[in-house]
Each structure stands twice: as C-alpha cells, then as structure tokens.
Chains A and B, each alone.
Chain A
Amino acid sequence: MKTFHHFAFGLLLAVSSAALAQDPAPATEPAAAPSEGLEVTVSDDSEWRDLGIAITTFATDADVPTSTNAGSTAALGRALATVVAADLKNNGLFKPSGPAGLPQPSFDEVQAPNYPIWSYRSADMLVQGYVHANPGGDLTVGCYLYDVALKQQLAKAGWKVGPADWRRAAHKCADMVYSRLSGESPFFDSRIAYIAETGPKGHRMKRLAVMDSDGANMRYLTSGQATALTPRYSPDYSKILYLSYLNGEPSIYVYDLNSNTQKLLVRSRNATFAPRWSPDGKWVLYSMAIAGNTDIYKIPASGGEPQKLTDSPGIDIGGSFSPDGRKIVFESDRSGTQQIYVMNADGSQQHRISFFGGRSATPEWSPRGDQIAFTHIAGNLRIAVMTPDGRNMRYLTNSWQDEAPTWSPNGRIVQFFRTEKNSGVTSIWQVDLTGRNERKLPTPVGASDPAWGPVRP
C-alpha cells in the first residue's frame, strides 16, 4: 500500500509536537457516524467482559476539508473513533464506550490526558487520537492508549494514510489496543472475500465480492453472469482463487486483483473445485472430479505439474494446510459419510480424526495451529472446533444451518455463513472461541463463503 506508512515513534512525535505548537481546533458540530458500522448481536453479557475502554473523538489541529468520504478533519476524527469502538465491541474482551456521549479531548490533551475526568467516569482504559491533514491530501493519524488507574501511557502509534484508506488507520489503532490489552495478534486491518447473493432462492445470482473485516469498502469483482463460489484470498492479497461457472463448466480461476484479470488454475475437461492456498502462497490445493470420483491435488501456484494427493474411491475434497505447511486436514467420505482426515503435505499417512457421530465437513486449520474449525452435520449444520488430533470437540454455534468456517488472521475468531430455513437467505457471521459472542457482518445483500485474509502490513 503506497499511501500507508507506519511511522517510527520519533517521527510521529515530531509531527505531533510540530502540530502542538498551533492552537487546538475549535469544537465543531459532530458529524454523523459513517454508515458502515457493525450490526451487533450480543448473545452474552457475562461479567468478565467488562474492561471499560473510553474511546474519544480524535482531535485535530485544524478543522480543514479532506477528500475522504467522512468530511473535514474534525468529522473524520469522530468517524475514526467510531470505527475503533465498533472493532473493539463484542469480541468478548472489552466494553468500549464512545465516542458519542463522552467528553471530546482537545488537541493538546491527546498526549496529556485529563485522568481525573476518566477516573470519575470509571473508565479502565482510555483511547485518544488525533488527525492531521497533510498538504498533499494525505492524513496523519495518531493513536494513544492510556491506563486510567495507573495514569500511564500503554501504547502509541501513528500512520500516514491516503484519503481512501482512512478506515485502515482506525483498524490499525483498534489492532494496537486489542493486541496490547489481550496479548493476542492483531486482526482488524484485514480483508474478506466472499460471495454476494441476490435474487430468489430458485434463481439466485452469486457474485465474487471483497470487503474490509468490518464489512466496509465492499466491492463486486464479477458481474454475476456466471455463478461464483468459494473464494480464497492469497496470503499477499494479490489474488483470489474461486470457482466459476464461466463457459458453463465449474472450474477454478485465479483472479488477479492488481490487473483485474483472471485465468484458469488448471485446464481440464473435468470439474475442479474447492481451491485453497498454502500458508506461504506457493502451493494451491484443489479437488477434481473424474468420472464422479473426486480427489485432492496440489499444484505450484506459479503453474506446473499437479500432484495427486488422495486416491480413494470416495469423495476427497477441500483441504487446509497446517500453519507450518507440513500437514493437510481434509474431508473424505471413504468411510461412507463425510469425515475429517489429516495427511502429510505429500499425501502420505492419511488418517481419520473425526469420531463424533453425524458427519464432519469443511475443516480449516487455525493460523495458530492449535484448533481445527469445521462444520458438524447431525440434522442441523453447526460450526465446531477440535484439536488437530480430533479431541475436545466443541460447538461454537447452534442454528439451523451454519457452514464453511474460516479463521481470523490471529486464530481467535471464526467466520462462517448462515442460511435461513425456507428463504435460503445467507449472511456472514463471526463468533469468538467461547461461542458466546456472535455478530453478523453488515453486508448490503446476502453473503456466503467468507474467506478471511491476513493482517495487512
């Protein structure tokens, strides 16, 4: 991202102190919050989720127009704080408040918080920030996290972003707060590829689409003329693998996001589906049906000879690499029903790991390596997790039809899609590993097959 630079702290402080010499901007009318926010379903209100974080409107040194869709720097400051607060909601760790209803710190308070005010309001943590418009149109955004009881700064960071990328600065700020307070890796500044669904159940259009991790900045990549299914972002965000019925035959295409062109992954008269990247982006797994028998293949992402990994008379399909790339978890009905198996990356030592009754499908290895998420089918379809040796199976959801889990980049959140009975309307949901905090992503139309990409650099 050319317009996105992580500032060294020294540089940030130089920027800030230069700006500090000026008078703080006069308070302006708060702008309307941007329409892209998270639609939230709180399924649990337990006591442990009570670390109160006050997130204040980001101050500005001068309220000037910007070419962002949020308005002037003052309006942008409020929008930034709104995005940060929305990110931090409902992941089971924090109870963010603001920016609405909270005092607005002045520009020179950003680095010198008025602790007594926040103590009085019983805030545990305080997030403050600023936004500064640079002459070229870029924006500098600073983000600070304070411990109110200790009266101490815990973290700070700053970013220079182009006008179209202002939400990334907010996601980076939320990531900083989340990481510092939870000890987990960040995940908010990431993208999701998915299938946008419109039209009635009997004649539904399915288009390839991408969006930010909070549902904002949604964009269609295909027209809908050909049905698109099961996308997967490459680890460097440059490409998307997906299934298309272009030319009437279901085949895997590689969509290049830089050139907006696509090509067939493999040229074959046989149907290819269920594409997956290796964690290093160097290999692609795909499944191919020959005379009704489906097996899993591996091919270098740059092209070359495919290698057949499975050879059972049943359906072997999907596949997800362990984070170290050494193993692959996949689905097979060689036992008579869909079950989950693990093999080495060369196809050797295939063995079943799911013994839970019912059927087990669509396994996805956590980026942390410690869990495998999958769809368990016993009447209803539900999202569950287990360890890589098939132990400690736990349901994360309980609905009529939830399927196709994928992981957040830090392995703390599982994303899946839910289908409504009868109408068949689909939507994308996220759930944390306790299963207690579920949220629906605000997509403009029906949405399925979510695929989460890594945290952006």
Chain B
Amino acid sequence: MPCSLIMTRRSKTGATMLLLAGALALSACKTTAPKELPPEPGPATTTTAPAGPTGPVAGSQADFVAKMMGADTIYFDTDKYDIDAQDQQALARQAQWLMQYSNKRATIEGHADERGTREYNLALGERRANAAKNYLVSLGVDASRLSTISYGKERPVALGSNEQAWAQNRRAVTVTVD
C-alpha cells in the first residue's frame, strides 16, 4: 500500500493518534522505500492531467471509487459499529453518487480486525455493514438496492499485526455492482 494512502486513511483513535500514525507511516516509508523505488519521473512537460475520455465510465464501480477518493470505506473502533461524524460525511458522499445513478446496486462489505475470534467477527462484520446500510437508507437510498456481506477477519487490507493495521481493517466498504 502506498504511504500516501495510509496518510489519508482515518482512524477513530483521535487526532493525536492520527498524527502519530501518520508519522509512523512516514518513517516506515523512509526505511522501506529504497527496496521499492518508483519509476524515474519523466520530463516535466509530460505530466499533464489525464484526459477525460481515458477516465472511468460514468456510473461504473471504477467511477465510484474515483469519485469517493477513499470515502467508499468507513472505519470503526474496536468492537464498535457506530457511525460517527466522519463516517456520516463519507456515507453522504456515497449516497449522493448512488442517488445520481439510481439504477445501480451496491454491496456493503463488513470487516473486523484479526484480534477477535472468527465467528464473532463474522457477526461483527454483519453488524458494521448493516450500520452503514441503515445510514445510506436514512439518506434516501432505496434499501432494496443495498445488500450486505460480512467477511469477518478473513480479508484484511492491512497485513501487519499492530494497532494501525487493525484500525484499517475494522471497516465497511461499499462496492457498487457493475
């Protein structure tokens, strides 16, 4: 995962923790970066913004991901499933897109971190996915367009065994169905 992405991820452990996590992510990048150097940048003249026609098709899952800029995912505290102010912003953004493309269906995937038992985490993932779904419905998205699925702790995105990785894995991800 690129370090810049880690920086934009939110965790609910408060501003201080967020800063700390960011600093840790940065320092981790400094030590690991030489192993995976990005390609040499080309001449400045070629770094133009991508042209419209090459972008994702409007109303596609790729378009959803691009438009959300990270807001396709919301994060939870340990064992929690409440929707806080940050989650509300992200879900409002999702709802806006879903209202615009009103024929699109979406699945909300609920996840848990690895520090719990397998079966409970499946139930916890269900609870998180439903919390996100209920909030989208409250914003006007038709419930029949939204389904939920829990992967418990079986599909981590952050692979470490530390607080920062666990915070990234306690999540609900909205995926639109193409």
Contacts and interface: CB of A to CB of B under 8 A. Distances in A.
B159 A289 contact: no
B79 interface: yes
B108 to A, nearest CB: 11
B140 interface: no
A292 B131 contact: yes
A318 B160 contact: no
Which of A201, A206, A375, A449 has the most B CB atoms < 10 Å from its CB?
A: A201
A375 B117 contact: yes
Given A227-B154, A250-B122, A421 B161 contact: yes
Interface residues of B, number: 29
A327 to B, nearest CB: 20
A317 interface: yes
A107 interface: no
Interface string A268-293: 00010110000000000001010111
Contact of B120 (A338, A419, A449): A338
A287 B131 CA distance: 19
B46 to A, nearest CB: 33
A63 interface: no
B94 interface: no
Contact of B149 (A206, A248, A404): A248
A377 B130 contact: no
Interface string B123-149: 110111111001000000000000011
Contacts of B134: 291-292
B114 A362 contact: no
A377 B117 contact: yes
B123 A287 contact: yes
B156 A202 contact: yes
A292 B115 contact: no
Contact of A377 (B116, B126, B148): B116
B70 to A, nearest CB: 19
B115 A401 contact: yes
A289 B123 contact: yes
A252 to B, nearest CB: 11
A403 B118 contact: yes
16 contacts: A200-B159, A204-B154, A227-B154, A229-B122, A229-B154, A271-B150, A273-B122, A292-B134, A315-B123, A333-B120, A362-B119, A404-B118, A421-B161, A424-B156, A424-B159, A449-B118
B118 A229 contact: yes
B131 to A, nearest CB: 7
B76 to A, nearest CB: 13
Contacts of A250: 122, 149-150
Contacts of B127: 289, 292-294, 315
Interface string A330-343: 01010001100000
A265 interface: no
A318 B126 contact: no
Contacts of A287: 119, 123
A381 B155 CA distance: 20
Contact of A230 (B119, B129, B131, B161): B119
Given A271-B150, A292-B130, A317 B115 contact: no
A422 interface: yes
A202 B79 CA distance: 21
